[in-house]
Amino acid sequence: MVNMNIPDCVVSDMYHEHFAILYDRVVRTDTYDLELYTEQASLTKGPILELGCGSGRVLLRLAILGFEITGIDNSPVMLNILEQKLCLLDKEIQSRVKYHNSDFRDLDIHNVFNLVIMPGATICSLKNMDEILGVFTAVYNCLNDGGRFIFDYYLQDDDPVIQNNNETVRTFVWEEPGSTKEFFIIGEKMGEDNSCTITNCYAEVISGEKTARYLGYSFRRNISTDDILNLIIDKTRFKIINTRFFRGVKNDKLKFVILQK
């Protein structure tokens, strides 16, 4: 889509610029994993660290329930949305939340936590096993003894025919009071070698006679179960406590892994 040279089109990463706002609108009502994180937060008692907290879908839920939580995200736009939401909550809830604009691949946290979470298949944004191992090692070092680390990822379909034809396209429309109307199209397609999933997003914001256009994209690395679990067992001192399966909002099958220090 970038090569189409759409006139007056702003191109950005899917989690920055205007797409961060649209992304928040799409995922803010997702609840499929909140019960798991609430359960594990209650078991470990907090404090909690969330890697890739975004606009606060999980972070704010846990803060409202009474847990101290720190979020890390590399998108300042996402964190601005989080801050706007946080300002609408009670001061007591606000006091339980901290967040930092940084890349969790360079995790430099001096506090220790009882629970670290990485929701939304964020691990798939890591480029290779070295990056994954680096993050896991850093997480291990900032956990108290007995602390837990939870991450999730999409399970690949073993059928190559399904893989190559599994393209999902979703559309959204929002109309604001007055003359503003927004279109948002998001499509996902497996890469040619099935090693990644390519996401393309296109949006138009129509206000009166003016139209603003945005094009966003991202790549999500596809991970096999054996890759991740073997890495954990061989290269870190984590213990695998449990694994769980969920169906996401697009009927994607997600695997959640619970590790313990």
Is 24 within the bounds of a domain?
no
pLDDT band at 20 (very low <50, low <70, confident <90, very high): confident
Is 22 within the bounds of a domain?
no
In the prediction, which pLDDT does 156 show? 65
Which whole number is the average pLDDT over 226-250? 83
Residues 42 and 132 in one domain: yes
In the prediction, which pLDDT does 159 show? 43
Residues 150 and 186 in one domain: no
Range of the domain at 9: 2-13+158-220
In the prediction, which pLDDT does 50 show? 98
| 224 neighbors 1 (Cβ within 8 angstroms) | no
Above pLDDT 70, what percent of the chain? 92
Residues 40 and 107 in one domain: yes
pTM score > 0.75 for this model?
yes
In the prediction, which pLDDT does 1 show? 66
Residues 73 and 176 in one domain: no
| 43 neighbors 62 (Cβ within 8 angstroms) | no
Least confident of 53-57, 197-201, 236-240: 197-201
Is 193 within the bounds of a domain?
yes
In the prediction, which pLDDT does 148 show? 98
Residues 140 and 175 in one domain: no
Residues 254 and 193 in one domain: no
Residues 122 and 203 in one domain: no
